[in-house]
Amino acid sequence: MSKLVIFTAPSGAGKTTIVRHLLDQYDQLAFSVSATTRQRRPHETDGADYYFLTREDFEARVAAGEFLEWEEVYEGQYYGTLRSEIDRLWELGKCIIFDIEVKGATNIKNTYPDQSLAVFVKPPSPTVLIERLRARQTETEASLQKRIRRASEELTYENSFDAVLLNDVLEDTLRNAEQLIETYLQD
């Protein structure tokens, strides 16, 4: 059976760090690259970090039914998972790992309830989460405020997933994430 591992959290909680670590540790995992209409950041690569699409292209693909899930996360900024990405990775015999926002995670879990492990990454506190977002220095003040408002809402989803992973001490968090993956992959 093809498996999915979904890591979800508010922006800044550390899910990307965890997912990158797990990808380095487990050859059977493959990263699901999401599509987005947001601007590419200087360190990002199209096709590796995201598939960067124009809004028009994204909307046309939505209309054509090409997305497993998608959402307008921020005004004018769409994010989604292309069905072709899932098919591509499953054809390679991989277990797919996602780094995705909570509504998209919920949609994937609902679509594949018996094939997925959904993990909510919880920051130590809302204050620490805001500090992490500020420390990134990747946002304007306006976009940072949008992320903070959205994070407050997303924190309420904590108990909607299969497991909660507290991201306080990174080494402990990574070890706990490895234990979750090893148990899930053995089932």
What pLDDT, in 10s, does the model give residues 132-183?
Answer: 777 777 777 887 788 788 888 888 888 999 999 999 999 999 999 999 999 9
pTM assigned to the model? 0.87
Confidence (pLDDT) at 17 = 94
Give per-residue pLDDT as tens, 47-58.
999 999 999 999
Confidence (pLDDT) at 132 = 76
Confidence (pLDDT) at 1 = 60
The DSSP line for the chain is ---EEEEE-STTSSHHHHHHHHHHH-TTEEE-PEEE-SPPPTT--BTTTEEE--HHHHHHHHHTT-EEEEEEEETTEEEEEEHHHHHHHHHTTPEEEEEE-HHHHHHHHHHSTTTEEEEEEE-S-HHHHHHHHHHH--S-HHHHHHHHHHHHHHGGGGGGSSEEEE-SSHHHHHHHHHHHHHHHHH-
Q: How many C-beta atoms surround the C-beta of residue 124 within 10 A?
A: 13
Of 20-24, 26-30, 148-152, the one with minimum mean pLDDT is 148-152
Asked if residues 33 and 19 have their Cβ atoms less than 8 Å apart, the reply is no
**If you average pLDDT over each of 11-15, 67-71, 100-104, which comes out highest?**
67-71
Q: What average pLDDT does this structure show over 30-50?
A: 94
Confidence (pLDDT) at 150 = 81
Mean of the per-residue pLDDT values of the chain: 91
Domain regions of the chain by residue span: 4-186
On the 0-12 / 13-18 / 19+ scale of CB atoms within 10 A, 39 is exposed
Confidence (pLDDT) at 74 = 79
Domain 4-186 has CATH 3.40.50.300: yes
